[in-house]
Structure 1
Amino acid sequence: MKPTLLVLAAGMGSRYGGVKQIDSVGKNGECLLDFAAYDAQKSGFGKVVYIIRKDIEKDFRERLFDRVARNFDAEYVFQSHESLLSDEQIRLSSARTKPWGTAHAVLCAEKAVKTPFAVINSDDYYGREAFEILGKYLSEMDAYSPEHSMVGYVLEKTMSRSGSVSRGVCTVKDNKLESIVENLKIYYEGDKIISEWPDKKVELTGKEWVSMNLFGFSLKAFERFHSYWDDFISQNVSAEKAEALLPVAASDIIRNNEGIIKFFTSSEKWFGMTYPEDRAIVKEEIAKKISEGYYPENLWSK
């Protein structure tokens, strides 16, 4: 049973200033997501499902999807403000302009996912090692296993000098995730790494394990995600900015004793497209990997 790769690509890109998930960074116009799909296919994944906004569909197809779909089983679904809401909830949330968050996005793709699946962000580079780890784990598990998974990264390897980042700081015991605490504003202050909260600043060591939204789930996880979403929307239906976050929903699996999340790690260097200044860095890193033979000059055969 080949696992599915689920790509969170419906974000607004407010800090980046554009639709970063389909911005060109490769030598032949490839996007960062081309390399993720390539790595996933090489690592045993059988399908990729993208979650996008309706307003970017045309550009998404022209600049990424049609190319990937010629080489890989691919599908896309839409996430909108109205997805999964009742008529009354739509009315109560009419002031909302942004998507409801990553947990909501995953639920929007439920009908397209038939096998255990990995979830990734659209603007992060994870490295093939992570896909190989999850590809092997997910392909060997029961479709409704309570034993889920994730790949964590060292915080200092996931920072940007261009501005703050949001990271889930993980507590791990016996190679299993115990908790994730979402730190929404982590940044460099000189050579120090600071996590800023509404009432305090906390210095971090940089050696902490963090979540980059690289999870591996069985289909059973959808049960918890639905419960999490129902609770979230009942409390936040009128909120203009509150987001249903996947790491929080995943943590609920542990808190409710519904399963475990096995914690894997990757030593590969992260890079991503959070800020406009990051694009040049990403292009340089991709070019370096091509020159080293990690990727071929022409990523896809057609």
Structure 2
Amino acid sequence: MKTALLIMAAGIGSRFGGGIKQLEPVDKNNHIIMDYSIHDAIEAGFNEVVFIIRKDIEDEFKEVIGNRIADVCANHGVTVDYAFQDIHDIPGNLPEGRTKPWGTGQAVLAAKNIIDTPFVVINADDYYGKEAFKLVHEYLVNGGKSCMAGFVLKNTLSDNGSVTRGICKMDDSNNLTEVVETKNIVKIEDGARADEAVLDLDSLVSMNMWGLTPDFLDVLESGFEVFFDEEVPENPLKAEYLIPTFIGKLLEQEKNQVKVLRTDDTWYGMTYKEDAETVKESFQGMLENGVYEEDLFADL
């Protein structure tokens, strides 16, 4: 069965410290987080990779990442495609002065004419772990429609500052009922807190790893038209069309059902420049423990 990995990399020009965080090497062989995600997706059974980027970074992206990944994928029967997120690709006129991208919902819609199979969508600069890809792939190939990898809160926190996480509420069947965006989450000696509220470290949170089907893209496209009619006029320069927000609205209206798939793997990201060293040490540990090969793709 054909299944695709969508990687949202249009924001790859976003800077952190002295470099581009999505291109920060995490091991001595200069692999980046995206390499590990692609490895884990192929290992889980995904057989198409779609990079969602901006047209203006296409040449540089292919030189630094794309061509190398295309060679790896060709050796494993995996296809590589590109979708281009464009601020002008909207159901209306671009508001005067608008320079901010339209968000993850529009990013995924950029791939609508490429994707005709179940898919998983991820951020380019987040490490999700092997288990999440396996769970999502298994759910999709067995006929599941919409799912989300649920990460344990304690496995997603930073030692270097506060983070924002979408804490999941679920019914007894692990169907998502609500994602509560919670800001200013920090580690404390015996757990975590957000402002004055103490949080359950074993809560499941959304890290924007969604398993979806082509049917969802039609719904997402219709929702973008509504967003443009209703929300953009109220905030023309900053309104964003975000997948978690849109799915939340569908849940409220009982128009969608999303299965939460718990993973106990640790999520890694570089929210802060200081996170880079911790992330590199973690990848070195995984290499030393045989989770990955030094020659990353050799075991596929």
Per the normalisation by structure 2, the TM-score is 0.88
1:1-302 paired onto structure 2 within 5 Å: 1-11=1-11, 13=14, 18-72=19-73, 73-86=79-92, 89-90=93-94, 92=95, 94-141=96-143, 147-173=145-171, 174-183=173-182, 185-188=183-186, 190-191=188-189, 193-195=192-194, 202-234=197-229, 235-237=231-233, 238-300=235-297
In 1, the alpha carbon distance for the partners of 2:17 and 2:80 equals 26
Contact 1:187–1:195 at 8 Å: present in 2 too? yes
Query: How much has 1:133 moved relative to structure 2?
Result: 0.7
Query: How much has 1:103 moved relative to structure 2?
Result: 1.0
Q: Counterpart in 1 of 2:76? A: none
Contact 1:155–1:210 at 8 Å: present in 2 too? yes
Does the residue aligned with 2:208 lie in a helix, a strand or coil?
A: strand
Task: Give % identity.
Answer: 37
Does the residue aligned with 2:25 lie in a helix, a strand or coil?
A: coil
Q: CA RMSD in A?
A: 2.1
Query: How much has 1:118 moved relative to structure 2?
Result: 0.6
* CA 1:254–1:105: 2 relative to 1, 3 Å: same
Amino acid at match of 2:5: L
Per the normalisation by structure 1, the TM-score is 0.88
Amino acid at match of 1:261: V
Query: How much has 1:40 moved relative to structure 2?
Result: 0.4
In 2, the alpha carbon distance for the partners of 1:163 and 1:9 equals 24
Unaligned runs of 5+ in 2: 74-78
Query: How much has 1:227 moved relative to structure 2?
Result: 2.6
- CA deviations on 1:67-112 (whole Å, 9 max, x unpaired) are 11112221222212212343xx21x2x3222211111111111112
Unaligned runs of 5+ in 1: none
Amino acid at match of 1:169: I
In 1, the alpha carbon distance for the partners of 2:164 and 2:239 equals 15
Amino acid at match of 1:34: D
Contact 2:157–2:187 at 8 Å: present in 1 too? no
Query: How much has 1:272 moved relative to structure 2?
Result: 0.8
* CA 1:166–1:18: 2 relative to 1, 3 Å: farther
Contact 1:163–1:275 at 8 Å: present in 2 too? yes
State how many pairs are aligned: 288
Amino acid at match of 1:162: N
* CA 1:246–1:17: 2 relative to 1, 3 Å: farther
* CA 1:164–1:230: 2 relative to 1, 3 Å: farther
Does the residue aligned with 1:49 lie in a helix, a strand or coil?
A: strand
In 2, the alpha carbon distance for the partners of 1:48 and 1:214 equals 15
